[in-house]
Amino acid sequence: MMIHIPSAGKALQTIVLFVCLISGTRPVFSQQPSIPAGDLSAQLDQYMKACHTTGLFNGSVLISVEGKTLLAKGYGYSNITSGALNTAATKYPIYSITKSMTAVLVMQLIEKKLLTPDDRLSRFYPSLPAADSITIGHLLSHTSGIYPYNNDYSMPTQSEEEMIRFLSGRRPGFRSGSQWQYSNTGYYLLGFIIEKLTGLPYDKALDAGIFRPLKMKESGLDFRELKSANKATGYRLLYPGLGKEARLYPQEELRSSGGVWSTVGDLLKFHEGMQAYRIISEAGTRVAYSVNHNSYGYGWFIETVNGKQVVSHSGGAAGFRSLLVRMPESNTCIVLLANAENFDLPVIKEGIMQLLSGKSIPMPANEKVDADRLQAIAGTYQLEPDRWLYISRVQQRLVAQISGQQPVLLMAGSSGRFHVAGTDAYLEFTGEKAGVYDTVLLNRKGRRHVGIKTNAGWGIAGSALPGGWSGPDVPMLPVNGKHSSWTASNIQLQDGVIKFRFNNDWTINYGAAPGGKGLEENGADIQVIAGRYTITLDLEAGESPIFRMQKE
C-alpha cells in the first residue's frame, strides 16, 4: 500500500516533519474540547487514542511517575498485513537511545579506573588525525570534530579496520571541544574501545553491564535477525490502513551508535536502574548529566523544564522512531516507540507532560472533508522561485511537503483551515475555479506566505544527459493525458546514470530498487549505455513503479 500525489503521478512520500513550520514548544491541535480532568491514567490513554486515530502515532507507550506505571499500552498495528497489534510487549529498534547505553558502559569503565574522560583517542587509535587532542569526553558529547558519519553510506562500516582506515584520511571538521556536531562515528569508536577494555564483543558487554543487572530480558542487538512474534514491522510511512514497509539497516550500520532493540517495559527498567544508581554511581550520573555543548551531556540531552531537570534521548532511522524521557526529581519516565517514520514524538511528549503537570490540553482531531474538495486542493504550489509546496491526497486526508523537507499529515479544522500538529501554523486554500484551488496561504505567527498552483510533471536527470547532473531535466509528457504514465522520446544519452525526479526538484525522485526490480523513492542510480532512447515511467503499478527504455 502506498500514498499518491495526484499531480505527481502517484509519487510515494515519506511523512516525518513539516520542518519550516514546527515550533517545538507545546502541542497545538484543532479547536476541539479539551481532555476533561479526572483519572490521570484514563486521560493519558484518551490522549494517546486520539493521537492514534488522527494518524499522529502508531506504536507503544509507557508512562511512569514516582514508581507507579500510569500507562503501558500499544496503539495500532504492529504489522498491517497480518493484522497484528502493538502491545506493551512489542519489540522495536530504539536506534540512538543506544547511545545512552553506550555512554553508561563507558562510565562504568571510568568508575573501574580503566578509562578517564580525559584519555586521548591516540591511546587507542594513534593513526587518526588530531587523535592527541580528541578525548573520550569529546566522543561522548559529540564535540570531537571527527568525521560525522550518519548512515549515508559514505564510510565503510563493515569492520573496525575499514572505518579506521577511512577516518585516517580525514581531518576533523573543527577543533575538539569548540563546537557540537551530532555524529554516530564517535559512538562507533566508543563501542570498539569498550570491546578492547572489557575483552567482550559489544553485545556481550551490554548484556553484562546493563541487561543482566537490570533484568532487561526483552532487549538485544541486531533487530534484523530477531525472531519473535512480538517483533514490530517498520514502515517508511503509516496511516490508518495505509503503509509502506521500510528496508532496515544491517547491524554494521548501527553498532554501538544505534543497534539496540527493546520494549517500553525494558526501557522503564533502564530508567529505574539509572534512577537507583544501580549501573553507574550517583557521582558518575552527575558527570553524565553535565551539559557540554548544545544541551548534551554524556549520552543524554539535558534541559530544564519548570525548574526541573529533564534528561532524554531520541532515536530515528529506517522504519522506526523512539523517545525516552526521564525526570529524575519526580522519578518520571516517558517511553514512546513508534513503528513508522512519519511521527513527531516530541510533539506527543509535550502533550503528555502537560497532562502530567495537571493542565488540560486540546484533543488531537481531524474534521471530515469532502473528497472532491481534497482532490481540488491537491497539487504543486510555488512559494518562491526554487521553493515548492506539494500537497497530496491520502484517502480522506492531506499531506504537505516543502522542497527539501519532510512531509507532514494535515489536520482539517472546522473553520476550513488545515493545521500542522504541534504548531500554531495552518494552511488555507483559495481561488477555487472549476473544481480546482489555485492558491495556498501558509500562516505562522502572524506571517503569511502565498503559493500559486502550477503545472508540474516528471523529468529525467543524470550524468548520462548532455548537461550532466547540473543540467536541466529532460521533460516527460503524460501518456494520453493521464498522470499515471509519462514518456520522453528520442533522447540521446551517453554512458552514465539517470534518475527520475518530479518538478525538477530532488524532493520527489525515483531510482532503481534493490535487485534490479522496479523503482523506489530515493533509489539507486540507473545505469545507462550510450544511445538514443524512448523512456517511459509507469506509475500505474502503485507500490512497484517501473520504467522502460527502448533503444531507437
**CATH code of the domain in which 46 resides:** 3.40.710.10
Domain end, chosen from 412, 428, 454, is at 454
pLDDT, mean of each 10-residue run, the chain (552 residues) = 27 31 42 61 96 95 97 96 96 98 98 97 96 97 95 91 96 95 97 98 98 98 96 89 85 96 98 98 96 93 93 96 97 97 93 94 90 94 94 89 88 90 88 92 89 96 94 93 90 96 94 84 92 94 84 90
Burial of 230 (0-12, 13-18, 19+ CB in 10 A): middle
- Three cell numbers at 284? 558518575
> Is the C-alpha dihedral spanning 142, 144, 148, 150 positive or negative?
negative
- Same-domain status, 345 and 229: yes
* CB neighbours of residue 440 within 10 Å: 24
350 belongs to a structural domain: yes
Count: domains in the chain:
4
Based on the domain organization, do 333 and 283 belong to the same domain? yes
From CA 28, how far away is CA 323, in angstroms rounded? 20
Same structural domain for residues 49 and 74?
yes
Q: 324-329, long-range: CB within 8 Å, 24+ apart, which pairs?
A: 324/94, 324/97, 324/100, 324/267, 324/270, 324/271, 325/349, 325/353, 326/271, 326/274, 326/275, 328/274, 328/275
* Predicted local distance difference test score (pLDDT) of residue 362: 86
351 and 236 within one domain: yes
Compute and round to an integer the Cα radius of gyration of the chain: 25
547 and 476 together in one domain: yes
**Residue 442's domain is classified under what CATH number?**
2.40.128
pLDDT of residue 241: 61
In a domain, 365, yes or no: no
pTM (2 d.p.): 0.87
For residue 432, is it within any domain?
A: yes
* Residue 533, domain CATH: 2.60.40
Judgement on whether residues 41 and 120 belong to the same structural domain of the protein: no
Domain that holds residue 428: 371-454
- Does some domain include residue 256? yes
Q: What is the SS3 assignment for 48? A: helix
CATH number of residue 135's parent domain:
1.20.58.710
Answer for the pair 322, 345: CB distance below 8 angstroms, yes or no.
yes
Q: Helices (DSSP H) in 54-130: which residue ranges?
A: 98-111
CA distances from residue 202 to 165, 220, 270 in whole angstroms, order as listed: 21, 11, 18
Do 298 and 348 sit in the same domain of this protein? Answer: yes
227 and 88 belong to one structural domain: yes
Q: Say yes or no: 122 and 89 in one domain.
A: no
- Does any domain span residue 216? no
Whole-number Å distance between alpha carbons of 85 and 75: 7
Element holding 459 (H helix, E strand):
strand 458-461
Q: Decide if 323 is inside a domain.
A: yes
pLDDT at position 446: 83
344 and 390 co-located in one domain:
no
- Estimate the crossing angle of helix 98-111 against helix 184-198, to 10 degrees: 40
Is 236 found in the same domain as 179? no
Q: Indicate if 304 and 411 belong to the same structural domain.
A: no
CB neighbourhood size of 227 (10 A) = 5
Do 437 and 381 meet the contact criterion of CB atoms below 8 Å apart?
no
Domain termination site, one of 454, 480, 506: 454
DSSP conformation letters of 121-187: GGGT-TTSTTTTT-BHHHHHTT-S------SSS-S--S-HHHHHHHHTT---SS-TTS-----HHHH
**What 3-state DSSP class applies to 488?**
strand
Of the residues 327, 356, 385, the one at which a domain ends: 356
Contact 286, 94 (CB under 8 A): no
